[in-house]
Structure 1
Amino acid sequence: MESELSTETWTQIFSYLESRADLHSCLLVNRLWCRIMVKILWEHPFSYNMSNEKFKSILKTYLTCLNERSIERLEESGIKLIMFNNKKPMFAYNEFLRDLVIDSIRFDICIYNLINESKEEQKIKKINKKRRKFQEKSEDLKDIRKIQQKYSKEGDLILEELIKLICSKSNKIRSLSVSPCNMMDYMITLLKDENNYYFNNIKSFTINSTSKVYNSYEPIKVYELIFALSRVSKNITHIRVNNACQSYQSELGDSLEILLNSQTNLRSLDLEYLTEPVYYEPIISKSNIISTLSDISFKNINFGSISQKSMNSLIKLSQNLKILKVASCLNCSLLCDAMKQCSNLVEFTYETCQFGEDLDFLLTILKSSSSSLRYLDIFWIRDGSNDNESLLKRLKLINCISEHCTKLTYLKLRRLNSEDLFSIWYGCKQLEVLSFFCNEHSDWDDSLEDLGRLLPCTLKVLKIGHWIEMPFSAMALESFLKGCKESLKKLEIYSFKKLCKHSEYVSVLKNSGVYYELIS
């Protein structure tokens, strides 16, 4: 019986399935579903967290897709892999690739293991012993270097043909993530070919610098790859720079300037683990390369020695900024002048150990974006302190949110007192989702009934978290739900201690008429 739904409709339906096990199950239903599932499953084959064995299995499948010319070249060089004797696969799996992640360590290990499988049994056992030792202690770099040296020529030839296979359909790839490694050499050669435009439809690009294994990789190669990419990829919307090695900072900054300047639709920039100014200054100090950005993320950045040139760039950026994410950064308070221009900010996420150190930074952003901010997520690690200074700083933050962030629809905070909720609900009357952790030292029982009656009529989802024991009684919870059941649609309770399904809290929730979830 022919399906009444089109392939495009089924693909859209299946896109909501997140579990690979579910996708595999659908693959076995019929031929139509099989074709759709194969395409979905092979869009991101190198992106999943998987064991070396599973990764090796994917490489085997890819190698069976090599054309006769590539196989002949490998066999002429003495490389006769087992999978070359297999039948051609039912699908050209490389044509489905949309997200390419080049992690050369993973590729090297698995390819050298494939070579081992084609060697004599005695040699296989010897190499497997070294491989197991490497897997048990990944930081021991001597073993991988020995394997690389022993099979360097064979491995390099396989990698070269593999890159050719991937690049042959690279115009379908949308996301590219690379680490400085030998595989980049083959990519550079192909990208320099002026008769072809490989990777010309990339939307997201990530450069990951470098692990200790490849610290010796030539910095000029990083420059060459990014420079070559800037020639063919003109529509990148998101760029991520992760963990820049000091030996690459000059080449990385110069090449990224060229790449960013070549883009016509760049919207998002992520800078992560660039702990010193020498790593991020070459990127953010170029005011002309960030004028189109609307989304920027800083993670593990130290702004302690930020230059005036970079500050001027950030001031210009903040005027058009829609999304700002700051996580585990140092000396954020030095950015206050730039943040005064965030009048169009819609979404702000902030993570830190103790927000008090950056209170001025937070208050500046919340005040400057008061008319535009809709999404606010402020997370700080619980330090257990209730000293007067900490309480005063938290009170300033809560009061600022209540007074200035009146148009918020989503709010997520950490460790609130019942008094904090009164303040937030009084000021933020457009909230639709509120998520917070209870401060166990607050008296929740005396406040929940009033909080239920004062709940903003727009609030549909309430997420309450606690650490050990419920900070309020079941009777207080019942009073709260009676007051707000007309407007509240969903209640989620997060707990590090699982609630018994027969507890009095569960009975109250079942009888409330409010949809609820208990998450531990």
Structure 2
Amino acid sequence: MPCQLPADCLNEIFEYLDDKKTLHSLLLVNRLYCKISVRILWRNIWNIRYTIARKHQPRVMSTILSTLVACLPDESKELLFKLGIFISTPTLKPPLFNYPALCKVLSINEICQIIHSVLEKIPNTSLLDKKDRNCLIVNEIIKMFITQISSLKELIFYDKIYNIRPNDISFTCFSGEINDCLKDLSELHCSSNLPSEFFNQLSKICHNLRSLNIIMNYESSDDLENSKILNELKKLISLQNNLKNLELSASHGGDWTNIIPALTKHSNTLTKLHINSGYDDSLPISFIALFSTLQEIKFSYTTRTFGEKQFKDFNKLEYANFPKLQYLSIPYNCARPEYIIKFLENNGKNLKNFYIEEVDRALNLSIAKFCPNLKKLSLVFNNDELDTLRIILNSCHYLESIKTRCGEKFLNEKEVLETVAKYSPKNFCELKICYYSNSELLPEDLESFFINWKNRASKTLFTLIIFKKHINKYINLKVSLRNLKLKLEI
């Protein structure tokens, strides 16, 4: 008789399986395997359609919707039936599992999109128009999730929800005795222009958010309502007990200036900050200096004014001190190079990961001078900066990975490989090459690099990742060295 591992051991093993295909296969082994796999798959059911081919997505969305309808309570099913809303279910029998109760992530936007996409292809036989029909189904499904989930971890609710206005979503289900579902909510993704009642209800329930992602959108013409929404949002932010991660995005005229006072309460707890500017290059970022406990800072932008630096007051961060900073990401044209150099002088010592897209020799040399403890580095060299690459490799003794760009006005890939093989520190184990133009790298150049790498004292497994479109000339390359790994990505 075969030995059966205990359920808790199987659960630990299955948790490490990121491959959805494998988990789906385990559904068919036996009931115990099925139970464990279903729980993991339904934890965040909304990301499944992003892991499959586009042509299969309509079928997957239809299956999710029919399963959710099958799980609806009898009163909801009766309401849909009376209004002439008929959505087929996988079987006439009750579902094997209470699928909504297994969810830890609730995406209102995904629910709206699934309903819109699936029902758009079905004739409307209900007593309601399409919009009211969809709103009704959305609210019944949300209510089911809120009442069935014992402890929700992540809530996603943006204002772009496929012809359904945020005001059409009923927030009565976020209050009352059933709020136990939300009391341990740890991650919230939302827009700043959602109805004030949404933020008001969450303020009463959710005080343990660790991660907050807010898209600051344009305000409506109703100044009174705008003020009410803003006050409720600031209250929600202020009431959090241990906020760790914050992402602020501004789009379509949005501005995070007004919520900065509410953020200052978390100056001693915040460890990760992502600032994403949309259509305004004058949004303030100097307030970042208040958060001395930051370990990660990421800047990004959607669009920028041509010829202008995106974050104009970056210079106010020159002398800011972040003694725990380990991760820094700065896009191209974010700020003047001299401001970034001064920032690195004050904060580069403890950096482990640094991603910079600015092309500037002085800035690249400052990395070697001020960032000695780097492990991962992504940067761009001009075609006359091979010596700069060598200086960085000689100065950053803990460096394990570099990502850079090659072709035309940037470094030649053959020279990069030769320099890495000769000067990289002993723990270096990964090189990523992106291409600005067609590659001039020949198979014999790669083979020469592999031979040089084999002769190094260190036998660390080395990974070479080449991002390019034309990879045919490398397909037949024979690599027989055990400590090398070649990965070609299109």
Report the TM-score range of the alignment, normalised by the length of the smaller protein.
0.7 to 0.9
Comparing 358-367 with 197-206, greater Cα deviation is found at 358-367
Secondary structure, aligned partner of 1:47: helix
Matched, 1:460 2:426: no
Structure 2 residues not aligned, in runs of 5+: 51-56
Amino acid at match of 2:396: C
Correspondence 1:281-360 to 2 at 5 A: 281-291=257-267, 292-301=269-278, 304-306=281-283, 311=286, 313-317=287-291, 319-328=292-301, 331-341=310-320, 342-352=322-332, 354=333, 358-360=336-338
- Report the equivalent of 2:356: 378
Kindly state the Cα deviation for residue 300 of structure 1 after the two structures are TM-superposed. Answer: 2.8
Report the Cα distance in structure 1 between the residues aligned to 2:473 and 2:262, rounded to whole angstroms.
57
Kindly state the Cα deviation for residue 359 of structure 1 after the two structures are TM-superposed. Answer: 1.6
Percent of aligned positions that are identical: 22
Kindly state the Cα deviation for residue 375 of structure 1 after the two structures are TM-superposed. Answer: 0.5
Report the Cα distance in structure 1 between the residues aligned to 2:345 and 2:275, rounded to whole angstroms.
20
Amino acid at match of 2:487: E
Matched, 1:106 2:113: yes
Matched, 1:402 2:381: no
Report the Cα distance in structure 1 between the residues aligned to 2:300 and 2:348, rounded to whole angstroms.
21
Matched, 1:266 2:246: no
Structure 1 residues not aligned, in runs of 5+: 120-147, 210-218, 381-392
Report the Cα distance in structure 1 between the residues aligned to 2:435 and 2:255, rounded to whole angstroms.
39
What is the CA deviation profile of residues 188-226 of structure 1, one whole-angstrom value per residue up to 9, with x for unaligned ones?
2122326743411211101146xxxxxxxxx6x621101
**Structure with more of its chain in helix, by fraction:** 1
Report the Cα distance in structure 2 between the residues aligned to 1:465 and 1:12, rounded to whole angstroms.
37
Amino acid at match of 2:295: K
Matched, 1:515 2:485: yes
Comparing 259-268 with 408-417, greater Cα deviation is found at 408-417
Kindly state the Cα deviation for residue 169 of structure 1 after the two structures are TM-superposed. Answer: 2.4
Correspondence 1:384-463 to 2 at 5 A: 394-415=360-381, 417-440=385-408, 442=411, 449=418, 451-463=420-432
Matched, 1:228 2:201: yes
Q: Quick check: 2:237–2:262 contact (8 Å CA) kept in 1?
A: no
- Report the equivalent of 1:493: 465
Cα RMSD over matched residues?
3.3
- Report the equivalent of 1:131: none
TM-score, normalised to structure 1, is 0.78
Q: 1:273 to 1:3 in 2, by over 3 A?
A: farther
Kindly state the Cα deviation for residue 82 of structure 1 after the two structures are TM-superposed. Answer: 4.4
Report the Cα distance in structure 2 between the residues aligned to 1:65 and 1:434, rounded to whole angstroms.
49
Q: 1:177 to 1:399 in 2, by over 3 A?
A: same
Kindly state the Cα deviation for residue 483 of structure 1 after the two structures are TM-superposed. Answer: 4.0
- Report the equivalent of 2:92: 86
- Report the equivalent of 2:62: 56
Q: 1:263 to 1:86 in 2, by over 3 A?
A: same
Q: Quick check: 1:324–1:347 contact (8 Å CA) kept in 2?
A: yes
TM-score, normalised to structure 2, is 0.82
Comparing 23-32 with 468-477, greater Cα deviation is found at 468-477
Report the Cα distance in structure 2 between the residues aligned to 1:52 and 1:208, rounded to whole angstroms.
27
Runs of 4+ in structure 1 displaced over 6 angstroms? Answer: none
Amino acid at match of 1:409: K
What is the CA deviation profile of residues 465-489 of structure 1, one whole-angstrom value per residue up to 9, with x for unaligned ones?
3355544555554554444433252
Count of aligned residue pairs for this structure pair: 460
Kindly state the Cα deviation for residue 73 of structure 1 after the two structures are TM-superposed. Answer: 3.8
- Report the equivalent of 1:140: none
Comparing 288-297 with 470-479, greater Cα deviation is found at 470-479
Report the Cα distance in structure 1 between the residues aligned to 2:198 and 2:472, rounded to whole angstroms.
54
- Report the equivalent of 2:30: 30
Q: 1:331 to 1:364 in 2, by over 3 A?
A: farther
Kindly state the Cα deviation for residue 455 of structure 1 after the two structures are TM-superposed. Answer: 1.8
Q: Quick check: 2:238–2:263 contact (8 Å CA) kept in 1?
A: no
